[in-house]
Structure 1
Amino acid sequence: MTDTNARLLALADKQDIAEVLYRYARGCDRADEAALRSCFHPDSRHNHGMFEGLSWDFVDRAIAICRPLKACKHMISNVMIELDGDRAVSECHFWAHHRRVDDKTGAEEDFFTGGRYLDRLERRDGVWKIISRTGVADFERFDAPSDRVMWTMPAAKIGGKHPDDPIYAMVADLGDGR
């Protein structure tokens, strides 16, 4: 294999891995259980926040947290990937916002958190998925909401949960040739 071919294959592998990380963020934001599960091999382990166990059990917890949120946004950046054949290690930064209800006061609050996901991935049957995830927290912040316009917009212009968010209709239309 030429050096150019090897570099192109490595680039394709890194893109496939980055898309796993991005799909995880979408899965959280849209409370899309299938999208979240597709990021992890069934035997994947998870150590994030107060949770330690199987990643598929963490998905249940993530859905229980994200589904009732009025708004949810996860962003992934600074993706770094080291490849070794069918194994890889990745580090990425995450930033998340949850509009939620404070259990103590019953009032809405904005919870912001950020840190890094440290992942081990494996390619099995040609598909990259996470086999081990460690979440490292770097900050958290709680604020009272300070919205001005967003919640006065039509519902169709505000992000929604699976399957109602507009991205799912767009992807279906793409598959239908529209």
Structure 2
Amino acid sequence: MDEGVHDPEQDFTEYFAARRDAVRRAAYLLCGDWHRADDLAQTAFVALHRKWNHIRDRAATDAYLRRTLVRAAIDESRRPWRRERQVERLPEPESAGARLDEQVVTRADLLAGLREVPPKQRAVLVLRYFEGLDVAGVAAVLGCSEGNVKSQTARGLARLREALGEEVEAGG
């Protein structure tokens, strides 16, 4: 093959290898379960592969993949069997004086709190605070207005505060 000619399958394979772990982590933050995260990441990459030869702007590939991942997570959460939640034990009330940094001592606590946030709000929080997108970037991924992103962020943070029982800093 000529050096100037690119093999689309090889390009996709290289892109997949470079982004696989990051997409899987984002999927985990969206759903809170590694098995479901693998399924969501696979769904997003399969959709991307179908469109791979038609993508003209490779710089937009990450945005397309992110949008596909978030939509898959939201669609998955709408399935009736996903609405039920099993818990190993009932939560115990926390002391009102506990600080968030003392309460959220492990990632598991934060992830459990995120699972209490509705899917669209969770998607906004993950994109804003874990993926590092600004309001305009999140709006582009979700296909909504910046005002919607701001209100979903506020509601999502409020729900996360409620789930964790303390204040959550918007910058953290």
TM class by shorter chain equals under 0.3
Pick the structure with more strand per residue: 1
Pick the structure with more helix per residue: 2
Name the TM-score, length of structure 1 as normaliser: 0.26
